[in-house]
Structure 1
Amino acid sequence: MPGGWELLVILLVLVLLFGASKLPQLARSLGQSARVFKAEARGMQEDDEAATRARAERVDSPELTRGERAASTTPPARDRQRDESGN
């Protein structure tokens, strides 16, 4: 962490480079960039957590191979209609 003298030198260099009138605009822009960066980092972390949860759910539930149907307690509507019509 820079000490008092280092901060003073950095501030002096910024004033010389950008001028005193542009420093508030520069600070505002820097603050907005930091907020956007934090929001994006948080979004990426949430995406990673969601992917991890989805991966865990896939491991917990068995995968169906092509042509298999998930076991269900109620038959699909098409089968129920066929059963009710007596065919």
Structure 2
Amino acid sequence: MPFNMQGWEWVILIVLALLIFGGTRLAGAGKNAGRALREFKDETRQIKADDEKAKREKAERDALSQGTPNAPVVDEVVEAEVVEQPEKRDQA
């Protein structure tokens, strides 16, 4: 294996990186990498939650359309305007 490194080889690699880039640059790069990983995890978690919500909603719609007796009740909000009907006059 090409990357079969021992502990002291990692130490040499870190010392060389510190000499080349400096401590502040490496610290900033580590901070940015951590932030990027955190954002990536948050986004993947949100995508999974959205997918699960869409599947749940689809299952509820399918159950309602098939008339399943144990289907969950979904309240629908319908906007309407109340219109009074004119009174019918007796023409006699």
Quick one: which amino acid aligns to residue 59 of structure 1?
A: D
Rounded to whole Å, the distance in 1 between the matches of 2:9 and 2:86 is 85
Q: CA RMSD in A?
A: 3.6
Rounded to whole Å, the distance in 1 between the matches of 2:87 and 2:45 is 54
Q: 1:14 aligns with which of 12, 17, 23?
A: 17
| Counterpart for residue 30 of structure 1 | 33
Quick one: which amino acid aligns to residue 62 of structure 2?
A: V
Q: Does 77-86 or 11-20 show the bigger shift? A: 77-86
More helix by share: 1
Rounded to whole Å, the distance in 2 between the matches of 1:19 and 1:50 is 47
Unaligned 5+ segments in structure 2 are 67-79
Q: How many residues align?
A: 73
TM-score (norm. length: structure 1): 0.57
Name which one, 1 or 2, has greater alpha-carbon Rg.
2
Rounded to whole Å, the distance in 2 between the matches of 1:46 and 1:35 is 17
Quick one: which amino acid aligns to residue 21 of structure 2?
A: F
Output one character per residue of 1:9-52: Cα deviation in whole Å (capped at 9) or x when no partner: 55245335533331111111111111111110111011111111
